[in-house]
C-alpha cells in the first residue's frame, strides 16, 4: 500500500465527485485504487478543512510541511492554486517524495518548470493533463500515428476560459495527438485584451494549426482535423465525436462534400471516463518500473514553452 495525501482541498481535490461513479477528482481515484491509502489532506482555510472532515473521516492539517513530515507519504497530490505549485513540488522533490500527482498547469512559467526538471532526480511526477488518459484522444492519436487517413491538411481548435487554465489542456493535446516536434508560431491575437487569445502555428510537416480562443461563460475545447478525404472531430469538451467522409455531391457532378460517416472508430471505445484513474495508475506504474509517465514534467514543458511564446509574441 502507498500512503497518499492531498495538498489543497478544493474542487479538483475532491469536490467535483458526484454520485455517477466516475472519478472526477484525486480523492475518488485514490479510493478506487487498491494500492493506495489516503491518510490526510491539508488546506490553509479552516472552512475547507472542516467541510472535508465532515464528508470524509480523514485527518486534516493546516500546513503541508507538517503533514508531509508527520505522515511520510509515498504519494502527494498537489491540488493547490497554480501560484503555489512551484513551492509545493520543490518541497516534495527536496524531501524525496516517491510520487507526485501535480495539477495543471504545472507551474506559472517555463523558467520555474526548467528549474524543477533540473532539480528532480528520483521523484516521479504526473502532471494532470488528464486528456492524455482518455480513450477518445488515445484512439485519435493512434489513428494519426499510423497515418490511417494520411497527413493532416489543416487542424482547427476552439477553446474558452483562459489560455493558462483551460487552454493549457488544449495545447497539451495539440502536442500529444499530433506528436509535434518542430513548429513555428506564425501569429497571435494581441491587438485586443483577452485571456483567451487566438493563434496560428505551422507544423514543420507542412500543415497549419488554427486555434480560436473565445471569452465565453462555458468551458469548451473542440478539435477538428481535416484530411484529404475525411474530417475527424472531438467536440463539446470531449463529450461528442464525429467522423465525416468525402462523397460526390449529388447535385454537382465532379464536386465533393462531406457527410457523416457510417463507420466511427470512436463508437468501439469503452471506459471513456476513467482518465483520473488511469493517470494515477500511470504514476504508480512509472515509479515501480522506473519509466517516464505519459504526462510528465518534460511533456508539460512543451506546453508551457508555447504558452510563454504566445504571451510574449511581438513584445
pLDDT in tens, 196-219: 999 999 999 999 999 999 999 998
State the average pLDDT over residues 246-271: 86
pLDDT of residue 23: 83
Q: Model confidence over 287-305: pLDDT tens digits?
A: 999 999 999 999 999 999 9
| CA angle, 207 then 195 then 110, to 5° | 70
Task: Report the CATH number of the 135-271 domain.
Answer: 3.30.360.10
Across the chain, where does the E strand assignment appear? 2-7, 36-42, 59-61, 75-78, 99-102, 124-127, 154-160, 183-188, 199-203, 208-214, 221-226, 230-235, 240-248, 256-260
pLDDT at 64 > cutoff 70: yes
Instruction: Give the confidence band of 192 by pLDDT, cuts at 50, 70, 90.
Output: confident
Contact 199, 189 (CB under 8 A): yes
pLDDT of residue 273: 58
Could you give the residue range(s) of every CATH 3.30.360.10 domain in the chain? 135-271
From-to residues of CATH 3.40.50.720 in the chain: 2-129+275-296
Class of domain 2-129+275-296: alpha beta
Backbone phi, psi, residue 148, to 5°: -65, -30
* Cα–Cα distance for residue pair 7/60, rounded to 1 Å: 10
CB 181 within 8 A of CB 173: no
Tell me the per-residue pLDDT of 135-157, one tens digit each, with 9 for 90 and over: 889 989 999 999 999 999 999 99
Beta carbons within 10 angstroms of residue 47's beta carbon = 9
Structure confidence at residue 18 (pLDDT): 61
171 Rama sector, left if φ>0, alpha if ψ -120 to 50, beta otherwise: alpha
Q: What is the mean pLDDT of residues 121-127?
A: 97
pLDDT class of 165 with cuts at 50, 70, 90 = confident
The pTM is what? 0.92
Per DSSP, the residues of 204-230 read TTS-EEEEEEE--SS--EEEEEE-SSE
Amino acid at each position: 500500500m502507498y500512503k497518499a495525501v492531498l495538498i489543497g482541498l478544493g474542487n479538483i481535490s475532491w469536490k467535483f465527485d458526484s454520485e455517477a461513479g466516475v472519478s472526477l477528482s484525486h480523492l475518488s481515484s485514490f479510493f478506487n485504487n487498491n494500492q493506495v491509502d489516503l491518510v490526510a489532506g491539508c488546506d490553509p482555510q479552516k472552512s475547507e478543512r472542516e467541510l472535508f472532515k465532515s464528508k470524509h473521516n480523514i485527518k486534516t492539517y493546516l500546513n503541508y510541511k507538517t503533514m508531509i513530515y508527520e505522515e511520510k507519504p509515498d504519494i502527494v497530490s498537489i491540488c493547490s492554486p497554480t501560484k503555489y505549485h512551484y513551492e509545493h513540488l520543490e518541497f516534495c522533490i527536496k524531501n524525496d517524495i516517491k510520487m507526485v500527482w501535480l495539477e495543471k498547469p504545472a507551474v506559472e512559467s517555463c523558467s520555474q518548470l526548467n528549474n524543477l526538471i533540473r532539480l528532480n532526480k528520483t521523484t516521479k511526477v504526473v502532471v494532470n493533463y488528464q486528456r492524455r488518459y482518455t480513450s477518445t484522444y488515445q484512439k485519435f492519436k493512434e489513428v494519426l500515428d499510423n497515418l490511417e487517413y494520411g497527413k493532416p491538411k489543416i487542424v482547427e481548435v476552439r477553446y474558452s476560459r483562459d489560455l493558462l487554465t483551460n487552454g493549457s489542456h488544449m495545447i497539451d493535446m495539440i502536442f500529444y495527438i499530433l506528436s509535434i516536434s518542430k513548429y513555428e508560431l506564425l501569429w497571435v491575437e494581441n491587438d485586443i485584451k483577452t485571456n483567451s487569445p487566438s493563434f496560428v502555428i505551422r507544423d514543420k510537416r507542412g500543415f497549419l494549426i488554427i486555434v480560436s480562443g473565445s471569452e465565453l461563460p462555458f468551458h469548451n475545447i473542440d478539435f477538428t482535423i481535416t484530411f484529404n478525404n475525411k474530417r475527424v472531430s472531438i467536440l463539446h469538451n470531449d463529450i461528442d465525436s464525429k467522423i465525416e467522409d468525402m462523397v460526390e455531391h449529388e447535385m454537382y457532378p465532379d464536386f465533393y462534400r462531406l457527410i457523416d460517416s457510417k463507420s466511427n472508430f470512436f463508437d468501439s471505445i469503452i471506459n471513456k471516463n476513467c482518465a483520473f484513474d488511469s493517470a494515477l495508475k500511470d504514476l504508480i506504474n512509472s515509479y515501480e518500473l522506473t519509466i517516464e509517465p505519459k504526462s510528465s514534467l518534460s511533456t508539460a514543458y512543451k506546453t508551457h514553452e508555447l504558452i510563454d511564446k504566445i504571451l510574449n509574441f511581438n513584445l
